[in-house]
Amino acid sequence: MSRPTQDLPDAEAQKLRELREAGPNSLPQLRARVALLREAGWSLAAVGKPLGANRSTTRMWQTSAKPEDVLAATFETGTKPVSPERRASVKVVRLYPDVPEDERDELVKLATSARRIRGWTPPDSEARRDASEFERRLREYNARGVPLKRMAEHIGVTHRAIAARLERSDVKASA
Three-class secondary structure assignment of 108-169 = HHHHHHHCCCCCCCCCCCHHHHHHHHHHHHHHHHHHHCCCHHHHHHHHCCCHHHHHHHHHHH
Same domain, 114 and 165: yes
- Of the candidates 103, 99, 112, the one whose C-alpha atom is nearest the C-alpha of residue 157 is 112
Q: Helices (H) and strands (E) in the chain — how many of each?
A: 9, 0
Q: Does the residue 106 lie in any domain? A: yes
Same domain, 72 and 107: no
Domain end position, chosen among 77, 93, 121: 77
pLDDT of residue 108: 92
pLDDT of residue 70: 79
Q: Does the residue 116 lie in any domain? A: yes
Q: Does the residue 155 lie in any domain? A: yes
Our count of domains for the chain comes to 2
pLDDT of residue 7: 84
pLDDT of residue 67: 86
Q: Does the residue 139 lie in any domain? A: yes
Q: Does the residue 2 lie in any domain? A: no
Same domain, 157 and 116: yes
Domain end position, chosen among 61, 77, 93: 77
pLDDT of residue 158: 93
Q: Does the residue 163 lie in any domain? A: yes
Distance between CA atoms of residues 76 and 170, nearest Å: 78
Q: Which domain holds residue 31?
A: 10-77
One digit per residue, the tens of pLDDT, for the chain of length 175 reads 456 678 888 888 888 898 888 888 888 888 988 888 888 888 899 999 999 999 999 999 999 888 888 777 776 766 667 777 777 778 888 888 999 999 999 999 999 998 888 888 888 999 999 999 999 999 999 999 999 999 999 999 999 999 998 898 776 655 4
pLDDT of residue 25: 86
Distance between CA atoms of residues 144 and 170, nearest Å: 17
Same domain, 67 and 15: yes
Same domain, 32 and 73: yes
Angle between helices 159-174 and 126-144 (to 10 degrees): 110
